[in-house]
Structure 1
Protein backbone atom coordinates (compact mmCIF):
# COMPACT_ATOMS: atom_id res chain seq x y z
CA UNK A 1 0.00 0.00 0.00
CA UNK A 2 1.13 3.49 -0.67
CA UNK A 3 2.79 5.31 2.20
CA UNK A 4 3.20 8.73 0.59
CA UNK A 5 1.48 10.39 3.55
CA UNK A 6 4.23 9.01 5.79
CA UNK A 7 7.03 10.91 4.08
CA UNK A 8 9.02 13.04 6.53
CA UNK A 9 8.35 16.75 6.35
CA UNK A 10 9.85 19.83 7.92
CA UNK A 11 6.47 21.51 8.30
CA UNK A 12 4.54 21.10 11.57
CA UNK A 13 1.83 18.42 11.68
CA UNK A 14 -1.55 19.55 10.39
CA UNK A 15 -4.66 19.04 12.47
CA UNK A 16 -6.60 16.26 10.70
CA UNK A 17 -9.85 18.10 11.38
CA UNK A 18 -8.48 21.10 9.49
CA UNK A 19 -7.37 18.81 6.66
CA UNK A 20 -10.90 17.47 6.37
CA UNK A 21 -12.22 20.98 5.81
CA UNK A 22 -10.12 21.12 2.64
CA UNK A 23 -11.67 17.98 1.11
CA UNK A 24 -13.66 19.76 -1.58
CA UNK A 25 -12.12 18.42 -4.76
CA UNK A 26 -13.84 15.09 -5.32
CA UNK A 27 -16.48 14.81 -8.03
CA UNK A 28 -17.40 12.45 -10.84
CA UNK A 29 -15.35 14.36 -13.42
CA UNK A 30 -11.96 14.66 -11.71
CA UNK A 31 -9.35 12.54 -9.98
CA UNK A 32 -9.70 12.08 -6.24
CA UNK A 33 -7.21 14.10 -4.20
CA UNK A 34 -6.77 14.29 -0.45
CA UNK A 35 -5.05 17.41 0.93
CA UNK A 36 -2.78 15.30 3.17
CA UNK A 37 -0.97 14.18 0.01
CA UNK A 38 2.02 16.42 -0.79
CA UNK A 39 1.32 16.29 -4.53
CA UNK A 40 -1.69 15.75 -6.71
CA UNK A 41 -2.06 12.27 -8.13
CA UNK A 42 -1.82 12.01 -11.90
CA UNK A 43 -1.78 9.19 -14.41
CA UNK A 44 -1.90 8.87 -18.22
CA UNK A 45 -5.36 8.40 -19.67
CA UNK A 46 -6.18 4.64 -19.72
CA UNK A 47 -7.06 2.92 -22.96
CA UNK A 48 -10.47 1.30 -23.47
CA UNK A 49 -9.44 -2.18 -22.29
CA UNK A 50 -7.76 -0.83 -19.17
CA UNK A 51 -10.69 1.40 -18.30
CA UNK A 52 -13.16 -1.47 -18.74
CA UNK A 53 -11.30 -3.64 -16.24
CA UNK A 54 -10.79 -0.81 -13.76
CA UNK A 55 -14.43 0.23 -13.92
CA UNK A 56 -15.51 -3.35 -13.31
CA UNK A 57 -13.14 -3.53 -10.37
CA UNK A 58 -12.07 -0.74 -8.05
CA UNK A 59 -10.99 2.33 -9.95
CA UNK A 60 -14.29 4.07 -10.68
CA UNK A 61 -12.74 7.30 -9.46
CA UNK A 62 -8.96 6.83 -9.49
CA UNK A 63 -6.87 6.73 -7.49
CA UNK A 64 -8.42 4.00 -5.37
CA UNK A 65 -7.44 2.90 -1.89
CA UNK A 66 -8.35 2.87 1.77
CA UNK A 67 -8.31 5.46 4.53
CA UNK A 68 -5.86 4.07 7.13
CA UNK A 69 -5.36 5.19 10.74
CA UNK A 70 -2.27 4.18 12.70
CA UNK A 71 -3.04 4.28 16.44
CA UNK A 72 0.10 2.77 18.00
CA UNK A 73 3.36 4.74 18.43
CA UNK A 74 6.11 2.91 20.30
CA UNK A 75 9.75 2.27 19.51
CA UNK A 76 8.80 -1.25 18.39
CA UNK A 77 5.91 -0.04 16.23
CA UNK A 78 8.18 2.49 14.53
CA UNK A 79 10.25 -0.47 13.30
CA UNK A 80 7.23 -2.62 12.42
CA UNK A 81 5.14 0.02 10.63
CA UNK A 82 7.13 0.19 7.36
CA UNK A 83 7.38 -3.62 7.33
CA UNK A 84 3.61 -3.89 7.72
CA UNK A 85 2.92 -1.34 4.97
CA UNK A 86 5.30 -3.16 2.64
CA UNK A 87 3.63 -6.51 3.35
CA UNK A 88 0.15 -5.06 2.79
CA UNK A 89 1.30 -3.66 -0.54
CA UNK A 90 2.71 -7.02 -1.63
CA UNK A 91 -0.43 -8.86 -0.56
CA UNK A 92 -2.65 -6.38 -2.39
CA UNK A 93 -0.59 -6.76 -5.58
CA UNK A 94 -0.72 -10.54 -5.22
CA UNK A 95 -4.51 -10.48 -4.83
CA UNK A 96 -4.87 -8.29 -7.92
CA UNK A 97 -2.78 -10.83 -9.84
CA UNK A 98 -4.94 -13.66 -8.47
CA UNK A 99 -8.03 -11.80 -9.64
CA UNK A 100 -6.67 -11.62 -13.18
CA UNK A 101 -5.77 -15.30 -13.13
CA UNK A 102 -9.24 -16.22 -11.87
CA UNK A 103 -10.83 -14.18 -14.65
CA UNK A 104 -8.83 -16.10 -17.25
CA UNK A 105 -9.99 -19.42 -15.76
CA UNK A 106 -13.61 -18.27 -15.71
CA UNK A 107 -13.40 -17.45 -19.39
CA UNK A 108 -11.85 -20.84 -20.16
CA UNK A 109 -8.72 -19.30 -21.65
CA UNK A 110 -6.07 -21.12 -19.64
CA UNK A 111 -3.31 -20.33 -22.12
CA UNK A 112 -4.09 -16.64 -22.38
CA UNK A 113 -1.78 -14.20 -20.63
CA UNK A 114 -3.46 -11.55 -18.48
CA UNK A 115 -3.64 -8.00 -19.80
CA UNK A 116 -0.45 -6.70 -18.22
CA UNK A 117 -1.31 -3.10 -19.01
CA UNK A 118 -4.67 -3.36 -17.25
CA UNK A 119 -3.14 -5.07 -14.23
CA UNK A 120 -0.39 -2.49 -14.06
CA UNK A 121 -2.95 0.32 -14.23
CA UNK A 122 -4.87 -1.10 -11.26
CA UNK A 123 -1.66 -1.29 -9.25
CA UNK A 124 -0.46 2.16 -10.26
CA UNK A 125 -3.78 3.80 -9.37
CA UNK A 126 -3.60 2.44 -5.80
CA UNK A 127 -3.00 5.26 -3.34
CA UNK A 128 -4.13 5.15 0.28
CA UNK A 129 -4.79 8.05 2.63
CA UNK A 130 -2.73 7.30 5.75
CA UNK A 131 -3.17 9.20 8.99
CA UNK A 132 0.01 8.51 10.92
CA UNK A 133 0.76 11.27 13.40
CA UNK A 134 1.54 10.53 17.05
CA UNK A 135 0.30 13.94 18.16
CA UNK A 136 -3.24 13.17 17.04
CA UNK A 137 -3.60 9.38 16.86
CA UNK A 138 -1.50 7.80 19.61
CA UNK A 139 -3.86 5.47 21.47
CA UNK A 140 -6.92 6.70 19.57
CA UNK A 141 -10.03 4.64 20.20
CA UNK A 142 -12.42 3.21 17.64
CA UNK A 143 -14.93 5.95 18.48
CA UNK A 144 -12.35 8.74 18.12
CA UNK A 145 -11.33 7.45 14.71
CA UNK A 146 -14.97 7.00 13.73
CA UNK A 147 -15.74 10.63 14.64
CA UNK A 148 -12.94 11.89 12.41
CA UNK A 149 -13.80 9.54 9.56
CA UNK A 150 -17.46 10.56 9.75
CA UNK A 151 -16.39 14.19 9.45
CA UNK A 152 -14.29 13.27 6.43
CA UNK A 153 -17.28 11.59 4.81
CA UNK A 154 -19.39 14.70 5.32
CA UNK A 155 -16.68 16.82 3.69
CA UNK A 156 -16.34 14.51 0.69
CA UNK A 157 -18.78 14.33 -2.21
CA UNK A 158 -17.96 10.81 -3.35
CA UNK A 159 -20.01 7.70 -2.62
CA UNK A 160 -19.99 4.12 -3.86
CA UNK A 161 -16.28 3.22 -3.61
CA UNK A 162 -14.46 1.21 -0.99
CA UNK A 163 -12.50 4.24 0.14
CA UNK A 164 -15.63 5.87 1.53
CA UNK A 165 -17.44 2.88 3.01
CA UNK A 166 -15.08 2.02 5.86
CA UNK A 167 -11.67 3.07 7.17
CA UNK A 168 -8.90 0.76 8.38
CA UNK A 169 -7.85 0.84 12.04
CA UNK A 170 -4.36 -0.46 12.84
CA UNK A 171 -3.51 -0.85 16.51
CA UNK A 172 -0.65 -2.74 18.13
CA UNK A 173 -2.33 -6.12 17.91
CA UNK A 174 -3.23 -5.85 14.24
CA UNK A 175 0.16 -4.32 13.38
CA UNK A 176 1.98 -7.32 14.83
CA UNK A 177 -0.40 -9.73 13.11
CA UNK A 178 0.37 -8.16 9.72
CA UNK A 179 4.14 -8.41 10.19
CA UNK A 180 3.82 -12.04 11.36
CA UNK A 181 1.83 -12.99 8.25
CA UNK A 182 3.46 -15.16 5.57
CA UNK A 183 4.89 -13.54 2.48
CA UNK A 184 2.61 -13.92 -0.54
CA UNK A 185 3.81 -16.40 -3.14
CA UNK A 186 3.49 -15.60 -6.86
CA UNK A 187 1.47 -17.62 -9.34
CA UNK A 188 3.68 -19.81 -11.53
CA UNK A 189 2.41 -20.60 -15.02
CA UNK A 190 -1.16 -20.00 -13.97
CA UNK A 191 -0.98 -22.31 -10.93
CA UNK A 192 -2.20 -21.15 -7.55
CA UNK A 193 0.50 -21.08 -4.83
CA UNK A 194 0.19 -23.46 -1.89
CA UNK A 195 -1.69 -22.25 1.17
CA UNK A 196 0.80 -21.18 3.88
CA UNK A 197 0.75 -22.77 7.32
CA UNK A 198 0.93 -19.49 9.23
CA UNK A 199 -2.32 -17.51 9.59
CA UNK A 200 -2.85 -14.22 7.80
CA UNK A 201 -3.03 -11.03 9.83
CA UNK A 202 -5.91 -8.65 10.19
CA UNK A 203 -6.84 -4.99 10.35
CA UNK A 204 -9.84 -3.31 11.96
CA UNK A 205 -12.51 -1.63 9.84
CA UNK A 206 -14.77 1.17 11.09
CA UNK A 207 -18.10 2.23 9.60
CA UNK A 208 -18.19 6.03 9.54
CA UNK A 209 -21.94 6.02 8.95
CA UNK A 210 -22.81 3.79 11.90
CA UNK A 211 -25.86 5.38 13.59
CA UNK A 212 -25.41 3.66 16.92
CA UNK A 213 -27.18 0.62 18.28
CA UNK A 214 -30.69 2.01 17.84
CA UNK A 215 -32.39 -1.35 17.31
CA UNK A 216 -30.23 -3.44 19.65
CA UNK A 217 -28.79 -5.22 16.63
CA UNK A 218 -25.53 -7.15 16.87
CA UNK A 219 -23.88 -4.83 14.35
CA UNK A 220 -21.60 -2.34 16.10
CA UNK A 221 -20.03 -0.61 13.11
CA UNK A 222 -16.73 -2.42 13.61
CA UNK A 223 -15.19 -5.63 12.31
CA UNK A 224 -11.80 -7.13 11.63
CA UNK A 225 -10.71 -7.98 8.10
CA UNK A 226 -8.41 -10.74 6.90
CA UNK A 227 -5.64 -8.83 5.08
CA UNK A 228 -5.89 -11.38 2.28
CA UNK A 229 -9.46 -10.14 1.69
CA UNK A 230 -8.80 -6.39 1.41
CA UNK A 231 -8.88 -6.33 -2.40
CA UNK A 232 -12.06 -8.40 -2.56
CA UNK A 233 -13.69 -6.30 0.15
CA UNK A 234 -12.87 -3.04 -1.60
CA UNK A 235 -14.71 -4.21 -4.69
CA UNK A 236 -17.63 -5.56 -2.68
CA UNK A 237 -18.00 -2.17 -1.00
CA UNK A 238 -18.87 -0.65 -4.38
CA UNK A 239 -22.16 -2.56 -4.27
CA UNK A 240 -22.94 -3.18 -0.61
CA UNK A 241 -22.37 -1.22 2.58
CA UNK A 242 -20.26 -2.41 5.49
CA UNK A 243 -23.23 -3.49 7.57
CA UNK A 244 -24.39 -5.84 4.79
CA UNK A 245 -20.93 -7.41 4.54
CA UNK A 246 -20.13 -7.66 8.25
CA UNK A 247 -20.75 -11.20 9.62
CA UNK A 248 -22.12 -9.82 12.89
CA UNK A 249 -25.19 -12.07 12.94
CA UNK A 250 -23.12 -15.24 13.38
CA UNK A 251 -20.88 -13.80 16.10
CA UNK A 252 -21.74 -14.42 19.75
CA UNK A 253 -21.95 -11.41 22.04
CA UNK A 254 -18.57 -10.22 23.26
CA UNK A 255 -16.66 -11.43 20.19
CA UNK A 256 -15.46 -9.50 17.13
CA UNK A 257 -16.87 -10.14 13.62
CA UNK A 258 -14.15 -11.20 11.19
CA UNK A 259 -14.57 -10.66 7.43
CA UNK A 260 -12.82 -13.28 5.27
CA UNK A 261 -14.59 -13.01 1.86
CA UNK A 262 -16.80 -15.95 2.86
CA UNK A 263 -19.27 -16.68 5.65
CA UNK A 264 -17.11 -14.85 8.15
CA UNK A 265 -15.69 -15.87 11.51
CA UNK A 266 -15.50 -14.67 15.09
CA UNK A 267 -12.40 -13.56 17.00
CA UNK A 268 -11.71 -12.69 20.59
CA UNK A 269 -9.78 -9.56 21.47
CA UNK A 270 -6.43 -11.38 21.27
CA UNK A 271 -7.06 -12.53 17.69
CA UNK A 272 -7.99 -16.16 18.39
CA UNK A 273 -10.70 -17.65 16.18
CA UNK A 274 -13.75 -18.93 18.04
CA UNK A 275 -16.10 -21.47 16.39
CA UNK A 276 -19.56 -20.19 15.45
CA UNK A 277 -22.78 -21.93 14.46
CA UNK A 278 -21.72 -21.69 10.80
CA UNK A 279 -18.16 -22.89 11.34
CA UNK A 280 -17.79 -25.82 13.72
CA UNK A 281 -14.29 -26.64 12.50
CA UNK A 282 -12.54 -23.28 12.90
CA UNK A 283 -9.01 -23.82 14.13
CA UNK A 284 -8.05 -21.91 17.27
CA UNK A 285 -4.45 -20.77 17.19
Structure 2
Protein backbone atom coordinates (compact mmCIF):
# COMPACT_ATOMS: atom_id res chain seq x y z
CA UNK A 1 0.00 0.00 0.00
CA UNK A 2 1.17 3.51 -0.72
CA UNK A 3 2.48 5.74 2.03
CA UNK A 4 -0.24 7.95 3.48
CA UNK A 5 1.65 9.29 6.50
CA UNK A 6 3.24 12.30 4.84
CA UNK A 7 3.04 15.42 7.00
CA UNK A 8 1.83 18.48 5.15
CA UNK A 9 0.64 22.01 5.71
CA UNK A 10 -2.41 23.00 3.63
CA UNK A 11 -0.79 26.26 2.55
CA UNK A 12 2.63 24.86 1.69
CA UNK A 13 1.63 24.12 -1.89
CA UNK A 14 -1.10 24.90 -4.36
CA UNK A 15 -1.83 21.39 -5.52
CA UNK A 16 -4.54 20.36 -3.02
CA UNK A 17 -4.38 16.58 -3.19
CA UNK A 18 -1.66 16.68 -5.83
CA UNK A 19 1.43 16.83 -3.64
CA UNK A 20 4.73 16.39 -5.47
CA UNK A 21 5.79 13.64 -3.07
CA UNK A 22 2.92 11.36 -4.05
CA UNK A 23 3.76 8.46 -6.34
CA UNK A 24 2.17 8.20 -9.74
CA UNK A 25 -1.15 6.32 -9.52
CA UNK A 26 -1.47 2.74 -10.58
CA UNK A 27 -3.64 2.29 -13.67
CA UNK A 28 -4.41 -1.15 -14.99
CA UNK A 29 -4.03 -1.93 -18.68
CA UNK A 30 -7.79 -1.78 -18.99
CA UNK A 31 -10.56 -0.11 -17.04
CA UNK A 32 -13.81 -1.97 -16.60
CA UNK A 33 -16.89 -0.36 -18.08
CA UNK A 34 -18.64 -0.65 -14.73
CA UNK A 35 -15.92 1.32 -13.01
CA UNK A 36 -15.80 3.99 -15.70
CA UNK A 37 -19.54 4.44 -15.42
CA UNK A 38 -19.60 4.61 -11.64
CA UNK A 39 -16.56 6.89 -11.47
CA UNK A 40 -18.46 9.73 -13.13
CA UNK A 41 -20.11 10.49 -9.81
CA UNK A 42 -16.76 11.59 -8.43
CA UNK A 43 -16.32 14.45 -10.91
CA UNK A 44 -14.05 16.94 -9.14
CA UNK A 45 -13.78 14.65 -6.15
CA UNK A 46 -10.90 12.68 -7.61
CA UNK A 47 -8.40 11.94 -6.15
CA UNK A 48 -10.40 11.45 -3.00
CA UNK A 49 -9.46 11.76 0.65
CA UNK A 50 -9.51 14.29 3.45
CA UNK A 51 -7.64 16.90 5.38
CA UNK A 52 -6.68 15.06 8.58
CA UNK A 53 -5.93 17.35 11.50
CA UNK A 54 -3.60 16.04 14.17
CA UNK A 55 -4.47 17.44 17.61
CA UNK A 56 -2.63 14.83 19.73
CA UNK A 57 1.13 15.12 20.14
CA UNK A 58 2.11 12.57 22.75
CA UNK A 59 4.05 10.09 20.62
CA UNK A 60 4.98 10.18 16.93
CA UNK A 61 5.13 6.38 16.79
CA UNK A 62 1.53 6.14 17.98
CA UNK A 63 0.53 8.71 15.36
CA UNK A 64 2.20 6.80 12.54
CA UNK A 65 0.62 3.56 13.72
CA UNK A 66 -2.80 5.20 13.81
CA UNK A 67 -2.48 6.48 10.24
CA UNK A 68 -1.23 3.10 9.06
CA UNK A 69 -4.17 1.31 10.71
CA UNK A 70 -6.64 3.83 9.28
CA UNK A 71 -5.25 3.31 5.79
CA UNK A 72 -5.28 -0.45 6.24
CA UNK A 73 -9.00 -0.30 7.01
CA UNK A 74 -9.71 1.95 4.04
CA UNK A 75 -7.86 -0.40 1.70
CA UNK A 76 -9.53 -3.51 3.09
CA UNK A 77 -13.05 -2.08 3.00
CA UNK A 78 -12.59 -0.92 -0.60
CA UNK A 79 -11.65 -4.48 -1.54
CA UNK A 80 -14.48 -5.91 0.56
CA UNK A 81 -17.23 -3.85 -1.05
CA UNK A 82 -15.82 -3.84 -4.60
CA UNK A 83 -15.94 -7.30 -6.14
CA UNK A 84 -13.72 -6.44 -9.09
CA UNK A 85 -10.10 -6.16 -7.83
CA UNK A 86 -8.94 -3.85 -10.63
CA UNK A 87 -11.36 -0.97 -9.90
CA UNK A 88 -10.70 -1.52 -6.19
CA UNK A 89 -6.99 -0.90 -6.69
CA UNK A 90 -7.68 2.19 -8.78
CA UNK A 91 -9.92 3.58 -6.05
CA UNK A 92 -7.23 2.83 -3.48
CA UNK A 93 -4.54 4.59 -5.51
CA UNK A 94 -6.82 7.62 -5.70
CA UNK A 95 -6.95 7.83 -1.90
CA UNK A 96 -4.81 10.86 -0.99
CA UNK A 97 -5.04 12.58 2.37
CA UNK A 98 -3.48 15.86 3.43
CA UNK A 99 -2.07 15.60 6.94
CA UNK A 100 -2.20 18.85 8.91
CA UNK A 101 0.53 18.55 11.52
CA UNK A 102 1.21 21.76 13.47
CA UNK A 103 1.77 21.25 17.19
CA UNK A 104 1.81 24.93 18.07
CA UNK A 105 -1.48 25.56 16.30
CA UNK A 106 -3.35 22.30 16.86
CA UNK A 107 -2.30 20.60 20.09
CA UNK A 108 -5.45 20.03 22.11
CA UNK A 109 -7.66 21.81 19.56
CA UNK A 110 -11.41 21.20 19.64
CA UNK A 111 -13.56 20.21 16.66
CA UNK A 112 -14.88 23.78 16.61
CA UNK A 113 -11.38 25.18 16.11
CA UNK A 114 -10.51 22.57 13.50
CA UNK A 115 -13.71 23.37 11.61
CA UNK A 116 -12.80 27.05 11.58
CA UNK A 117 -9.27 26.35 10.33
CA UNK A 118 -10.63 24.14 7.56
CA UNK A 119 -13.24 26.72 6.68
CA UNK A 120 -10.61 29.46 6.56
CA UNK A 121 -8.43 27.41 4.22
CA UNK A 122 -11.23 26.71 1.76
CA UNK A 123 -12.16 30.39 1.72
CA UNK A 124 -8.57 31.32 0.89
CA UNK A 125 -8.47 28.73 -1.90
CA UNK A 126 -11.87 29.01 -3.63
CA UNK A 127 -10.81 27.10 -6.74
CA UNK A 128 -10.47 23.99 -4.57
CA UNK A 129 -13.77 24.54 -2.81
CA UNK A 130 -15.78 21.97 -4.72
CA UNK A 131 -19.18 21.98 -3.09
CA UNK A 132 -20.78 18.57 -2.94
CA UNK A 133 -17.57 16.56 -2.62
CA UNK A 134 -16.61 14.89 0.67
CA UNK A 135 -13.06 16.26 0.71
CA UNK A 136 -14.29 19.87 0.51
CA UNK A 137 -17.26 19.43 2.83
CA UNK A 138 -15.73 17.39 5.64
CA UNK A 139 -12.40 17.07 7.37
CA UNK A 140 -11.13 14.48 9.84
CA UNK A 141 -9.57 15.02 13.24
CA UNK A 142 -7.56 12.64 15.42
CA UNK A 143 -7.36 13.59 19.10
CA UNK A 144 -5.79 11.77 22.05
CA UNK A 145 -8.73 9.42 22.57
CA UNK A 146 -8.94 8.52 18.88
CA UNK A 147 -5.17 8.09 18.79
CA UNK A 148 -5.52 5.36 21.42
CA UNK A 149 -8.58 3.73 19.87
CA UNK A 150 -7.32 3.40 16.29
CA UNK A 151 -4.13 1.35 16.91
CA UNK A 152 -6.08 -0.84 19.34
CA UNK A 153 -8.43 -1.90 16.53
CA UNK A 154 -8.03 -5.48 15.28
CA UNK A 155 -6.30 -6.03 11.97
CA UNK A 156 -9.04 -5.99 9.30
CA UNK A 157 -9.67 -9.32 7.61
CA UNK A 158 -10.89 -9.22 4.02
CA UNK A 159 -12.23 -12.77 4.17
CA UNK A 160 -14.41 -12.30 7.26
CA UNK A 161 -15.14 -8.57 7.38
CA UNK A 162 -14.39 -8.78 11.10
CA UNK A 163 -14.89 -5.04 11.60
CA UNK A 164 -18.65 -5.59 11.22
CA UNK A 165 -18.91 -7.31 14.59
CA UNK A 166 -15.73 -6.22 16.39
CA UNK A 167 -15.09 -2.90 18.11
CA UNK A 168 -12.89 -0.61 16.02
CA UNK A 169 -11.47 2.87 16.49
CA UNK A 170 -12.71 6.09 14.99
CA UNK A 171 -11.82 9.45 13.54
CA UNK A 172 -13.80 12.62 14.19
CA UNK A 173 -15.73 13.63 11.08
CA UNK A 174 -16.39 17.38 11.03
CA UNK A 175 -19.00 19.09 8.86
CA UNK A 176 -17.57 22.33 7.46
CA UNK A 177 -21.02 23.79 6.81
CA UNK A 178 -22.30 23.40 10.35
CA UNK A 179 -23.36 26.91 11.48
CA UNK A 180 -21.34 28.54 14.26
CA UNK A 181 -24.50 29.12 16.29
CA UNK A 182 -25.81 25.63 15.78
CA UNK A 183 -29.43 24.67 15.18
CA UNK A 184 -32.21 25.99 17.38
CA UNK A 185 -34.16 22.74 17.20
CA UNK A 186 -31.09 20.54 17.90
CA UNK A 187 -28.98 22.06 20.69
CA UNK A 188 -26.95 18.85 21.04
CA UNK A 189 -26.12 18.63 17.35
CA UNK A 190 -22.51 19.82 17.22
CA UNK A 191 -21.73 19.09 13.58
CA UNK A 192 -19.32 16.23 14.16
CA UNK A 193 -19.51 12.50 14.78
CA UNK A 194 -17.16 9.72 15.66
CA UNK A 195 -16.80 7.93 12.34
CA UNK A 196 -15.55 4.36 12.67
CA UNK A 197 -12.41 3.78 10.61
CA UNK A 198 -14.21 0.88 8.96
CA UNK A 199 -16.77 3.38 7.63
CA UNK A 200 -14.53 6.00 6.02
CA UNK A 201 -14.78 4.44 2.57
CA UNK A 202 -18.50 3.72 2.85
CA UNK A 203 -19.22 7.30 3.89
CA UNK A 204 -17.10 8.69 1.06
CA UNK A 205 -18.67 6.42 -1.54
CA UNK A 206 -22.28 7.05 -0.50
CA UNK A 207 -21.92 10.77 0.19
CA UNK A 208 -23.72 11.83 -2.99
CA UNK A 209 -26.82 9.86 -2.06
CA UNK A 210 -27.29 10.95 1.53
CA UNK A 211 -27.67 14.10 3.55
CA UNK A 212 -25.35 14.24 6.53
CA UNK A 213 -27.89 16.14 8.63
CA UNK A 214 -30.47 13.41 8.14
CA UNK A 215 -27.95 10.84 9.37
CA UNK A 216 -27.09 12.74 12.55
CA UNK A 217 -28.52 10.89 15.57
CA UNK A 218 -30.94 12.76 17.78
CA UNK A 219 -29.49 13.66 21.18
CA UNK A 220 -31.49 15.40 23.90
CA UNK A 221 -29.19 15.51 26.92
CA UNK A 222 -25.53 16.04 27.88
CA UNK A 223 -22.83 13.40 27.95
CA UNK A 224 -23.85 11.48 24.83
CA UNK A 225 -21.66 11.03 21.77
CA UNK A 226 -22.85 10.73 18.14
CA UNK A 227 -21.34 7.77 16.28
CA UNK A 228 -21.44 6.58 12.68
CA UNK A 229 -20.09 3.62 10.72
CA UNK A 230 -20.79 4.89 7.20
CA UNK A 231 -24.15 3.15 7.17
CA UNK A 232 -25.81 3.44 10.59
CA UNK A 233 -25.75 6.09 13.29
CA UNK A 234 -26.15 5.58 17.02
CA UNK A 235 -25.31 7.22 20.33
CA UNK A 236 -22.79 6.14 22.96
CA UNK A 237 -22.13 7.23 26.51
CA UNK A 238 -18.72 8.27 27.81
CA UNK A 239 -17.88 4.60 28.48
CA UNK A 240 -18.46 3.58 24.87
CA UNK A 241 -21.77 1.83 25.53
CA UNK A 242 -24.65 2.25 23.10
CA UNK A 243 -27.53 4.31 24.46
CA UNK A 244 -31.15 4.13 23.35
CA UNK A 245 -32.63 6.64 25.80
CA UNK A 246 -31.24 9.81 24.25
CA UNK A 247 -33.96 12.27 25.28
CA UNK A 248 -33.83 14.82 28.04
CA UNK A 249 -35.42 13.75 31.30
CA UNK A 250 -36.90 17.19 31.80
CA UNK A 251 -39.80 18.90 30.11
CA UNK A 252 -38.79 20.73 26.98
CA UNK A 253 -40.25 24.08 26.11
CA UNK A 254 -42.30 24.09 22.97
CA UNK A 255 -40.75 25.91 20.07
CA UNK A 256 -43.28 28.02 18.23
CA UNK A 257 -40.71 29.56 15.91
CA UNK A 258 -40.92 29.01 12.21
CA UNK A 259 -39.18 25.86 11.07
CA UNK A 260 -37.21 27.92 8.56
CA UNK A 261 -35.37 29.72 11.37
CA UNK A 262 -32.82 27.00 12.02
CA UNK A 263 -29.87 28.94 13.39
CA UNK A 264 -29.90 29.49 17.11
CA UNK A 265 -28.75 32.61 18.86
CA UNK A 266 -28.21 30.67 22.09
CA UNK A 267 -25.24 28.57 21.03
CA UNK A 268 -24.95 24.79 21.19
CA UNK A 269 -24.11 22.38 23.96
CA UNK A 270 -20.38 21.73 23.59
CA UNK A 271 -20.15 17.95 23.87
CA UNK A 272 -16.39 18.03 23.34
CA UNK A 273 -15.88 20.46 26.23
CA UNK A 274 -18.08 18.25 28.40
CA UNK A 275 -15.97 15.19 27.57
CA UNK A 276 -12.69 17.01 28.13
CA UNK A 277 -13.69 18.52 31.47
CA UNK A 278 -14.94 15.13 32.61
CA UNK A 279 -11.63 13.47 31.73
CA UNK A 280 -13.23 11.25 29.10
CA UNK A 281 -10.90 12.25 26.24
- TM-score (norm. length: structure 1): 0.72
Superposition misfits of 4+ residues, deviation over 6 angstroms: none
Shift of 1:198: 4.8
Q: 1:185 to 1:237 in 2, by over 3 A?
A: same
Mapping of 1:54-65 within 5 angstroms? Answer: 54-55=39-40, 61-65=45-49
Partner of 2:140: 168
Q: 1:173 to 1:4 in 2, by over 3 A?
A: closer
Match of 1:257 among 220, 223, 226: 226
Residue correspondences, number? 237
Shift of 1:93: 0.9
Aligned: 1:244 with 2:214: yes
Q: Which runs of 5+ in 2 are unaligned?
A: 247-281
Q: In 2, Cα distance between the equivalents of 1:196 and 1:43? A: 30
Q: 1:36 to 1:47 in 2, by over 3 A?
A: closer
Greater shift, 211-220 or 82-91, is seen at 211-220
Mapping of 1:1-285 within 5 angstroms? Answer: 2-3=3-4, 5-6=6-7, 19=11, 33-34=15-16, 37-39=19-21, 43=25, 47=31, 49=33, 50-55=35-40, 61-74=45-58, 77-101=59-83, 114=84, 116-154=85-123, 155=125, 156-187=128-159, 192-194=160-162, 198-211=166-179, 212-217=181-186, 218-247=188-217, 249=218, 252-269=221-238, 272-277=240-245
Cα RMSD of the aligned pairs, angstroms, is 2.9
Q: In 2, Cα distance between the equivalents of 1:251 and 1:233? A: 25
Partner of 1:108: none
Q: In 2, Cα distance between the equivalents of 1:60 and 1:224? A: 26
Q: 1:183 to 1:44 in 2, by over 3 A?
A: closer
The C-alpha deviation readout for 1:93-135, integer Å capped at 9, x for no partner, is 111111113xxxxxxxxxxxx2x32111111111011101213
Shift of 1:250: 5.0
Q: In 2, Cα distance between the equivalents of 1:88 and 1:3? A: 10
Q: In 1, Cα distance between the equivalents of 2:142 and 2:194? A: 10
Q: In 1, Cα distance between the equivalents of 2:95 and 2:18? A: 16
Q: 1:251 to 1:174 in 2, by over 3 A?
A: farther
SS in 2 for 1:229: helix
Q: In 2, Cα distance between the equivalents of 1:148 and 1:36? A: 20
The C-alpha deviation readout for 1:63-82, integer Å capped at 9, x for no partner, is 101211010111xx311111
SS in 1 for 2:60: helix
Q: In 1, Cα distance between the equivalents of 2:203 and 2:225? A: 17
Q: 1:144 to 1:125 in 2, by over 3 A?
A: same
Q: Which runs of 5+ in 1 are unaligned?
A: 8-13, 24-32, 102-113, 279-285
Shift of 1:233: 0.8
Query: Residues 171 and 194 of structure 2 are in contact (CA less than 8 Å); yes or no, is this contact kept in structure 1?
Result: yes
Q: 1:131 to 1:254 in 2, by over 3 A?
A: same
Q: 1:250 to 1:179 in 2, by over 3 A?
A: same
Greater shift, 154-163 or 170-179, is seen at 154-163
